[in-house]
Structure 1
Amino acid sequence: MKPSSALKAVISMDDGLLMRGAFYVLLAAAAAFLVIDLREISTAEAARPALDVMPNLPTFLPATTAPGAPGSPPVQPSSPEEVLRKPMTFNLVSGGVLRAEGTIDPGAADRFASEVEARGEYIKLVSLNSPGGSVDDAIAMSKLIRERNIATKVAEKALCASSCPIIFAGGVARSAEKDAVVGVHQVFNGSIERPSPEQAMSSAQATTARVARHLDEMDIGAGLWIHALETPPNQLYYLTPAEMSKYRLTTDGTHVAVPSAG
């Protein structure tokens, strides 16, 4: 016996209610996990130096697990933690190499611009060793590097993590030496005074869009930032030499276009 049209309508209505109910359950679960994640990150980061509120990335150092273990870096960075956690310093050495080392603190871009203004004609390459930090400053430094036709490098066992690859992307030629440690992860608020989950999500999305747009302008493959989006903010995704080449983060010495003035 075939069900009547009225019975079919009731069945269809029940199916719709079930689907909507399942959707709202999943939505509530996602919101709960977001709040839990934010609280866990806040607790884990509470002892770290605070940066300005979004858009910034906190200092993040690789776990001291053995190389080759799940989630571990290919090698341990050679610089001690106290060197990497200090505000970024700039030191011009022989060969026109400007060493940029330490956390990208708010104001690092201004100090970098002053260094370039004073010694720009001598600076041929910026060698990076940084666990990341302020996204605003990283983007500003990256743009200035590209405008001034400067190359970038991550030396052997140097670290370039979190927002540091944004600076790296600005180089007109980009190289990562053997055992360079280059990693990315999601953007999130680096200050101890944290916004609400809704504000944090909105800020993260806006900052993610700005970073993705900048990397596209630097001709970096979109797959690089996808790895960042897939990696929780308390972890790092370590890029292999093949991936850095694939996403054009490294150029094997080939120069890329420099934007025209104005």
Structure 2
Amino acid sequence: MRKLLRSAVVSAALCGTTMTSPAAASEKVFGPFVVDDAKPDVIVMNGDIDVGSALNFRRALHAAPGAKLVTLNSSGGAVQMGLLMADDIRERKLATYIPKDSACLSACAYMFLAGVERKVDGKLGVHQISSDASDLVGAQLTISDIIDVLNRFDTPVDVLSVMFKTPPNDMHVFTPEEIEHYKLNRTGGEPMPSTAAGTPAAPDSSLPAPDAMSVTGPTTQRATSDQPHSTETAVITTPTPQTQAKLSPIEEFTKRPNRIAIYTGLDLFGDDISSIRTSDAAECAQNCLVMNGQCKAFTFNANPKITKGPNCFLKSSAGRADGNSIAFSGRFLSGADADPPTFALGTIDPQSALFHDVDFRGGDLSPRPHSTAKTPIDCRLACVDDSRCMAFTYNYSKKQCWLKGSIGTPMPGKGMVSGVKKFQNFSPAKIISLN
């Protein structure tokens, strides 16, 4: 089984690195700007600002007429080009975003500050202008242009002061505290300053960032089989669609999946949207990915003996984590999500930790059977959920579940099943980029 799961990881890794939407994506490059047909609402900037950048930005805007967001990663460059592009950003009412591991420095900062909505997750840096020519009049005119443009973006005077006090051979990178203090981030729910034409921009509603994976949340599915999500006897609850507030451009971008965390031996239980049959875990992941963000996670039943019925379960959330050695799961992560940490989980693996026709005598947590666990799976999960429970015995004929504080004496017990808990650490076997 371990060999099977390792093979599945390799298969998913190899296939996952080339996952795309059904139509092949086509990129257009204009200097430092990239427009992707698969993401027509985003213009990506990655490179220095030179004398041709303003024209290249116009070309990118023409290629992406529906653009709402510019992502920025640049060490700066030509000041006048930066100011011209900042004017275009403001005129088009575009949002600006500095992703994690990206930096927007020097002349790039003008472009960031032009955003009607803006957010820093990377680095934002400013300093004085520099020039090889000793043209004092020209330098003063350039500073005047900078002040004029940034004032139209309602840039705080303190930010201008920091900019003009920082020597050109140095760089002031704003700290998270300064970003908050100077209100450099501007969300879709905040009042927008007037545009260049003098018309107030309409704000978008905002939603909170997605939560990290829950490992103790309630489940909406109970099966009578301990195969991961065996749907021949499972009851699937499909979530009722709910109306959501419209996301702002930055929220839309940061919530898109950009990588997938792969787990072996972990069953994400419940919150199923649908169940299908696929040839392998990579195909299961692909079916989740193409659902345009509705599918957040999946579990694949890697048992080769199950030849009929669904083996891929697509989920609206990561649901509840449960240990199962033949389960193979993935959780899609967005740019707003940190890499998931290692977490500890008490498990009773239905493939290796259950003993049929065995009774664990003694060690009961209570003189009475568990009040709500009426099936073997309910009994197993009740023990998993109780930190005091180390084992259980379930009596089929009496439909009784006995939770054990210690592992009792194993005795023959026809019509009984017992299980032993162990604690495991789970961390992603691999995190695969989807870019």
TM-score bucket (shorter structure): 0.5 to 0.7
The equivalent residue for 2:167 is 232
The equivalent residue for 2:372 is none
Structure-1-length-normalised TM-score: 0.59
| Residues 42 and 68 in structure 2, CA contact (< 8 A), matched pair in contact too | yes
Matched to 1:184, the amino acid is: V
User: Structure 1 residues 95, 114: CA separation in 2 closer, same or farther (over 3 Å shift)?
Assistant: closer
Distance 1:251 1:108 in 2: 25
Q: Deviations over 1:7-53 (max 9, x none)?
A: xxxxxxxxxxxxxxxxxxxxxxxxxxxxxxxxxxxxxxxxxxxxxxx
The equivalent residue for 1:114 is 59
Q: Deviations over 1:48-82 (max 9, x none)?
A: xxxxxxxxxxxxxxxxxxxxxxxxxxxxxxxxxxx
Matched to 1:155, the amino acid is: P
Q: Deviations over 1:163-218 (max 9, x none)?
A: 111001111100112xx1111111011xxxx323xx2x333222112111111101
Matched to 1:181, the amino acid is: K
Q: How does 1:135-154 map to 2 (within 5 A)?
A: 135-154=79-98
Greater shift after overlay, 148-157 or 244-253? Answer: 244-253
Q: CA deviation at 1:248?
A: 3.5
Matched to 1:111, the amino acid is: N
Please state which structure has a larger fraction of its residues in helix. 1
Q: Deviations over 1:147-166 (max 9, x none)?
A: 11110000012010011110
Q: CA deviation at 1:229?
A: 1.2
User: Structure 1 residues 124, 241: CA separation in 2 closer, same or farther (over 3 Å shift)?
Assistant: same
Alignment length, in residue pairs? Answer: 167
Q: CA deviation at 1:261?
A: 8.0
Matched, 1:105 2:42: no
Which structure's relative contact order is higher, taking Cα pairs within 8 Å and 6+ residues apart? 1
Larger radius of gyration: 2
Distance 1:238 1:141 in 2: 21
The equivalent residue for 1:163 is 107
The equivalent residue for 1:188 is 130
The equivalent residue for 1:34 is none
Q: Deviations over 1:95-135 (max 9, x none)?
A: 722111100111101111121123122x1100000000111
User: Structure 1 residues 255, 144: CA separation in 2 closer, same or farther (over 3 Å shift)?
Assistant: farther
Distance 1:221 1:120 in 2: 31
Structure-2-length-normalised TM-score: 0.36
The equivalent residue for 1:62 is none
Which one of 163, 179, 184 corresponds to residue 244 of structure 1?
179
| Residues 220 and 248 in structure 1, CA contact (< 8 A), matched pair in contact too | no
User: Structure 1 residues 116, 240: CA separation in 2 closer, same or farther (over 3 Å shift)?
Assistant: same
Distance 1:150 1:209 in 2: 24
Matched to 1:117, the amino acid is: H
User: Structure 1 residues 119, 261: CA separation in 2 closer, same or farther (over 3 Å shift)?
Assistant: farther
SS at match of 1:182: strand
